[in-house]
């Protein structure tokens, strides 16, 4: 669970969490069904687990031909006190019981021309006898391509914008910029990919408004991602493309282990390690002091894609350099 010091948590006398639970488990089911349909063969293996301190979850992992590894997790955990990662910037949460629930997924395709992707939607509440509850929503989705296709990034961001606009016209630019800042590898001076949406501590406008927006983000994930899978799944690739994909997957590992606050929260709160680290790719490689050859698609990824870009201002039809040879 991640937090921002830019907002104050919302207080409420009581929050009914069962509708959130039902929507999250339904979202997990729908996303798994959509990915299985695209895969066309392999099915998700399911692992139900419980947490000694309270709660548990459902971990589903698919290892197929199209998706080398796809994991879609649901968790609902609770406890008498919060870990240090949650209270460091929120001293008012100290001494409160908490409940956190969400769906988190990461998809690592086999074909290097299909991007890796991540999505998460979550709800958090902290309570103390005699005091109002503190609650907020968070989430988002982001895209990590290995080969640069401008039209893919444009589609991704147009769908992200469509998820936001009915709720607040300022949400897309605000949460797009937040995503660019959050999924940034400081030690590499590059973004993890082409971004998308990232929001946290969302409570403005009341519970129904915030829950509705969070549902919209979750419900727009498959329309954002599956068209890219369909567009790239039959692209022929060579071993050099695969090796570059495995090298770039290393950046995913670096971010999750060095910077991801959700990973830290899961570990510090006594979550299930296998489920927390489900996001890591099945195969990865590192190469000392790698630099792409000038004029190659790999070089274009570094030059034009691994930085904040206003993708909605780009023309997806004018992309003469997006070649795959």
Residue 120, marked binder: yes
pLDDT score recorded for residue 11: 56
Residue 122, marked binder: yes
The reported pTM is 0.89
| The one catalytic residue among 118, 155, 220, 241 | 118
- For residue range 1-24, list pLDDT tens digits in order: 333 333 445 555 567 899 999 999
- For residue range 116-150, list pLDDT tens digits in order: 999 999 999 999 888 888 999 999 999 999 999 99
Greatest C-alpha distance within the chain: 65
pLDDT score recorded for residue 322: 43
Residue 104, marked binder: yes
209 is a catalytic site residue: no
Q: Which of 3-12, 233-242, 309-318 has the lowest mean pLDDT?
A: 3-12
The sign of the CA dihedral 274, 275, 277, 279 is positive
Task: Give the pLDDT band of residue 320 (cuts 50, 70, 90).
Answer: very low
Task: Give the pLDDT band of residue 242 (cuts 50, 70, 90).
Answer: very high
The sign of the CA dihedral 138, 253, 234, 65 is negative
Count other C-beta atoms under 10 Å from residue 110's C-beta: 17
Torsion angle of the four alpha carbons 72, 76, 78, 82, in this order, in degrees rounded to the nearest 10: 40
- For residue range 161-220, list pLDDT tens digits in order: 999 999 999 999 999 999 999 999 999 999 999 999 999 999 999 999 999 999 999 999
């Amino acid at each position: 669970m991640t937090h921002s010091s830019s907002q104050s948590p919302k207080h409420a006398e009581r929050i009914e969490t069962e509708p959130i639970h039902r929507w999250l488990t339904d979202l997990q089911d729908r996303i798994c069904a959509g990915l299985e349909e695209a895969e066309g063969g392999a099915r998700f293996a399911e692992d139900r687990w419980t947490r000694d301190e309270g709660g548990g979850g459902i971990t589903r992992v698919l290892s197929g031909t199209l998706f080398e590894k796809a994991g879609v997790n649901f968790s609902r955990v609770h406890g008498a006190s919060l870990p240090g990662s949650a209270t460091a910037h929120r001293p008012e949460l100290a001494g409160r019981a908490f409940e956190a629930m969400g769906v988190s997924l990461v998809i690592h395709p086999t074909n290097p021309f299909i991007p890796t992707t991540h999505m998460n939607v979550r709800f958090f509440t902290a309570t103390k006898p005699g005091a109002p509850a503190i609650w907020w929503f968070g989430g988002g989705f982001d895209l990590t391509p290995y080969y640069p296709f401008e039209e893919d990034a444009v589609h991704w961001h147009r769908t992200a914008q469509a998820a936001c606009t009915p709720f607040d016209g300022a949400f897309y630019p605000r949460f797009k910029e937040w995503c660019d800042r959050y999924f940034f590898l400081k030690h590499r001076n590059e973004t993890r990919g082409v971004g998308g949406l990232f929001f946290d501590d969302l409570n403005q406008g009341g519970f129904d408004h915030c829950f509705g927006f969070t549902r919209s983000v979750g419900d727009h994930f498959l329309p954002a991602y599956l068209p890219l899978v369909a567009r790239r799944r039959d692209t022929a690739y060579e071993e050099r493309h695969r090796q570059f994909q495995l090298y770039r997957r290393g950046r995913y590992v670096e971010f999750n282990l060095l910077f991801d606050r959700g990973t830290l929260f899961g570990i510090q709160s006594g979550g299930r390690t296998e489920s927390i680290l489900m996001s890591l790719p099945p195969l990865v490689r590192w190469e000392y002091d790698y630099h792409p050859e000038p004029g190659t698609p790999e070089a274009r990824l570094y030059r034009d894609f691994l930085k904040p870009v206003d993708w909605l201002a780009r023309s997806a039809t004018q992309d003469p350099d997006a070649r795959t040879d």
